Structure formats: structure tokens, C-alpha cells
Amino acid sequence: MQKPVVITIARQYGSGGKTIGEMLSEKLGIHFYNKELLKLASDESGINEALFVNADEKAAGSKFLGMFHKKYKGDLLSPDSDRFTSESNLFEYQAKVIKELAKKESCVIVGRAADFVLKDYDNVLSVFIHAPFEFCMEQAAKKVNLTGHELEKYIQRIDKDRADYYKYYTGREWTDARNYDLCLDSSKLGFERCVEEIISYMNVRFQ
């Protein structure tokens, strides 16, 4: 691949999207970016990384989402602004880092509305990994010490945070298949086959 190819992965909690992203990056020999984006954005802006962590994939002012959203436009605020450390500006810096990565290297980027941030880039393949709720429950139970109703609420809360975050910064519905190049049900394919399908699509798309 002469030109960098970036695969963005949006994922329901418990669907295995992060694991699939890691497997994909290993198979292709390219970098995998998830939480690392927060440190890079912190380094870029000089803003404490803890602020990025606290705002990670959560919408600013989410209780007002029914009334408005702040669609991402790439407008960075300067350090002298009183909103320099606002959640919206944290997103802007994170998006800046995502764009810089897309220009210089092939990589896998998980979450953070990266598909929308890079929607005008012709070297990006956007993927949404989903699965039935029962499957997500089974997978999540392997990672967190919760069961039954508590686990169910935990998964629903994380997915709601991700959906609200996506809606707030993109104006789009997170689960709308039209936002992505490829949507895969990991419960039907398994993680390894999902990786194979993404690579097959990538090879056809970018030759």
C-alpha cells in the first residue's frame, strides 16, 4: 500500500470491535489507536490528559441533545480562550490528531467518531461492528465483574454514551449503516472472519 490506508472502527460494547481492530492491525502490521489518541491529543494541545480521559466518548451537554448538537467543523480554540479546555475543544484537538495520522500512516482507529472526522479522506475505510445484545452480554461478562441486570445496564449506558457522543459531534445516528462502508455482525462471522472480510473489502477498494 503506497498511500496510507486508515480503517476506522465504530463498535457496540461487547461486539468485539476493539479486539477485531487489534487483530487487524497485527495482521496488517500497522498501528492501532484507541486510548493512545487521548495522550496524543494531550501532547498536541498541552491540555492535561486526564481531561481527555474524562470526556472520552461522552457528549458534552448530553442532557440537551434533544435540542441541539455541536457538529464538528475543525475549529480549534486558542489557549487564551476561556473555553480552551471545554469538551468540544478537546474533541477538536483529538480530531486534529486523527487527521494528521490519516495523512502520514496506515493505521486502525477505534471510536471517537473517526469515520466522520475523516469522511472527506479517500484513503479511509469505515467499519461498524455490531452484534445481538445477548452476544454482547456474553462477551462483556468476560471483561467486567458484573452479571444479570447490572451488566445489562452497564452495556446500555456505554452504548448510549457512544451514541450521544456521535450524535453531538456529527449530527448523525451512530447505528445508521449509511454512515459506514462496511457493517459486520461479529456474532455470525466470529472475530477472525471479520478481520478477513475487512481486509478483503480493503483490497478491492484500494487495490
Q: 76: domain CATH number?
A: 3.40.50.300
What is the residue range of 201's domain? 6-206
Residue 85 has pLDDT above 60, yes or no: yes
Per-residue pLDDT, 139:
96
In a domain, 157, yes or no: yes
Q: Is residue 148 part of a domain?
A: yes
Q: What is the number of structural domains in the chain?
A: 1
Beta-bridge mates of residue 8: 109, 126
Whether the full predicted model's pTM is greater than 0.85, yes or no, is yes
Spatial CA neighbour of 35 closest among 142, 112, 132, 150: 112
Q: Do the Cβ atoms of 94 and 37 come closer than 8 Å?
A: yes
pLDDT for position 63: 46
Confidence label for 83 from pLDDT (cuts 50, 70 and 90): confident
User: pLDDT by residue (tens digit) across 136-193?
Assistant: 999 999 999 999 999 999 999 999 999 999 999 999 999 999 999 999 999 999 999 9
3-state helix, strand, coil in the chain (%, to 5): 50, 10, 35
Is 1 inside any structural domain? no
Residue 137: inside a domain: yes
